[in-house]
Amino acid sequence: MSSNIEIDFFKPIYDDIDYYKDYQSKLCQFIIINCCYAKAYSSKKNYDNKIKNRLHITPPEMISLLKEILWLEVVIYKLKLKINKI
Tell me the three-class secondary structure of the chain, residue by residue.
CHHHHHHHHHHHHHHHHHHHHHHHHHHHHHHHHHHHCCCCCCCHHHHHHHHHHCCCCCHHHHHHHHHHHHHHHHHHHHHHHHHHHC
Confidence of residue 79 (pLDDT cuts 50, 70, 90): very high
Q: Where are the domains of the chain?
A: 2-85
Reported as a single tens digit per residue, the pLDDT across 24-76 is 999 999 888 877 655 544 445 555 555 566 777 788 888 999 999 999 999 99
